[in-house]
Amino acid sequence: MRASNEKQSLYTLRKYFNTNNEDSVLLEQPGFTKNSQLGNNLKTGLDYFVSKQTTLGLVFTGGIFERNGKVFSAIQWMDPGYHVDSTINTWGENNIKFRRAGVNINGKHKFSENSELVADFDYVRFNINGDQNYQTQLVTPGSEIAATKGVIPSKLDIFTVKADYSRRFKKFLLETGLKTAINKTDNLADYYYFFNNNWLPDLSRSNHFLYNEKISAAYASVDAQKGKWHWQTGLRFEFTSYKAHQLGNAVVKDSAFNKNYGSFFPTGFLSYEADSNNTITFRLGRRIDRPQFQQLNPFITTLNKYTFEAGNPYIKPQYTWNFSLVYTYKQMLTTELSYNYLRDYFSQIFIIDSNSSNVNGNIIIYTRECGVIQEFCYFRNFSKVINQMVGPYCHGYIKPQDHQRPGVGAP
């Protein structure tokens, strides 16, 4: 069981510039959030020993999580001299109920003392029900309250199948395997606004997003040790395919997109133990970071009256090469120097929506590719006992890419 209460204050000052690059209008957005959370997890299972060589297992997992949040913000429009022109109060609540249920079927068979096969099948279902309620009012006598609400249910199914084989030879250990994961997501967002004592559907904001993803991988590694030397090398191939469909309505156009890509990911290390106190290790590897499905959804989500968020279906995964040199003294002091090279780096940026009704332009938080990053890092850790860490200190630079931003809401 897990329970918590948290409070957060956030202050944002947004500056708008005129054609002479001078302050034109200021937008102050202080915000206060209060969240209460309660969660419970369950896990149970059993093992059946078919024989001395074969074992079968069954595991059930589940979880319940609830979070209730309240927000308040007093937004102020000001001139460059910080004189308040108008104040808008926004208050509301965000609630979410999260349910998780899963089953794992596993088996292990030992062919001999030196070789074995392990297989797993996993299925997990997530049911997420969220709702939002917001009210906004201009602080002036007789001002009306603008009320909106949203009902946001989501379903996520994850299927995973994996098989790993290992065999120890006289001079090295061989490990190899196959894995496939299938994710199916159904994300619905129904928004409403209050008008003439009725809740009416806001079709311009409502969204139904379907996302299916399949990731398959094959991998192998060799581990060996001789004298003071220890080395390992491995290679993994991953192939990813996904299909996404944003269902339209009377206001929003239907759209769909898909993508397929694959790549190799080598890893390895070479370690030398000079004596019982000093060890030097060199590591290298390549990895992939994929955008989450929320970052691919091109629809606009409202964060507050003047700030929105939108995904980008054209985002590529980012790839990272990592090289590091590590020195360890008595398992107490670890010093590391590393170099990272990131290609197709993506991040959230803030852009002005020129199509907004706000004369100054609303802000859209938009995910896009930002270029190539090269980074040098230094890290030091003083033993697990005192748990004192220095760094990491990193120095790097971004080589930007010139991409035109596609229209938000279009594939």
* 2 belongs to a structural domain: no
* 32 belongs to a structural domain: no
* 361 belongs to a structural domain: yes
* 31 belongs to a structural domain: no
CATH number of the domain bearing residue 111: 2.40.170.20
Find the radius of gyration of the CA atoms of the chain. 27
pLDDT (mean) for 199-212: 90
* 293 belongs to a structural domain: yes
- Report CA-CA distances (Å) from 177 to 166, 205, 388: 9, 45, 38
* 365 belongs to a structural domain: yes
Q: ∠ at Cα 119 (115, 121), nearest 5°?
A: 175
pTM above the 0.95 mark? no
Output 137-146 pairs: Cβ under 8 A, ≥24 positions apart: 137/88, 137/89, 138/86, 138/87, 138/88, 139/86, 139/87, 139/88, 139/89, 140/86, 146/193, 146/194
Q: Which residues have a Cβ under 8 Å from the Cβ of 320 and sit 6 or more positions away?
A: 286, 287, 288, 289, 340, 341, 342, 343
- Report CA-CA distances (Å) from 356 to 30, 260, 363, 382: 22, 34, 9, 53
pLDDT (mean) for 7-15: 86
**When comparing pLDDT for 363 and 183, which is higher?**
183
Total of domains in the chain: 1
* 385 belongs to a structural domain: yes
Domain residues for the domain of 333 are: 41-399
Give the DSSP H/E element, type plus range, for residue 214. Answer: strand 207-226
Q: What does residue 192 show for φ and ψ, rounded to 5 degrees?
A: -135, 155
* 405 belongs to a structural domain: no
pLDDT tens digits, one per residue of 151-182: 989 999 999 999 999 999 999 999 999 999 99
pLDDT (mean) for 187-196: 91
